[in-house]
Chain A
Amino acid sequence: DQQVKQNSPSLSVQEGRISILNCDYTNSMFDYFLWYKKYPAEGPTFLISISSIKDKNEDGRFTVFLNKSAKHLSLHIVPSQPGDSAVYFCAASGSNNNDMRFGAGTRLTVKP
């Protein structure tokens, strides 16, 4: 039973436009949410995170939004660049933090 779901396996956007990646979770005990980025032949690298006490966190071109009532979070990339093309994983963890769960990933392609 997947507790973290990314329902869009792929997304394609034009360079300079906004990319919006979505993620849903089912476990109300999760209190910390993260996005990881993965290039082929490399391990995932941490991108941005948000705790459950916030509804928005921004870092440069990347913003994560959290809607706790809907158990939904999203990652916005503005403006998108070709170098952003990668697989993005949504992850969630409880206070224990040894129970981090990942979504299936969304492959983002940014076209020049």
Chain B
Amino acid sequence: DVKVTQSSRYLVKRTGEKVFLECVQDMDHENMFWYRQDPGLGLRLIYFSYDVKMKEKGDIPEGYSVSREKKERFSLILESASTNQTSMYLCASRAGGYGYTFGSGTRLTVV
């Protein structure tokens, strides 16, 4: 069964910390995405990558960066965590076509 795995289900970090959210897919997909989900706002695209070492900004990239050194792994980095980055973070991947496969999400709380 194909999978997108996010390394942590829950994280609590302090303001100002550097935070790494990891995502791994086992489907050999070229495209990977990071979204955040907030009540009333749905899923908003932070960054996506269509190939190794390639990245594109989504709608809300401020305060985030990404890394894709290997095809199967796409990391989201919060350079200096702030309380307004408390959210559910969802990673997704896709091959061709329109279907995205999502991970289970990481609920990040910044205190």
Contact = CB atoms under 8 A, between A and B. Distances in A.
Nearest to B50: A98
B45 interface: yes
A101 B45 contact: yes
B82 interface: no
Interface stretch (A13-21, A40-48, A69-77): A40-48
B105 to A, nearest CB: 6
B102 A45 contact: yes
A1 B92 CA distance: 22
Contacts of A41: 9, 104-105
Interface string A38-58: 000111111001000000000
Interface string B90-106: 10101001111111110
A33 to B, nearest CB: 9
Nearest to A101: B45
A43 B98 contact: no
B56 interface: yes
Interface string A76-97: 0000000000000101010001
Contacts of A9: 40
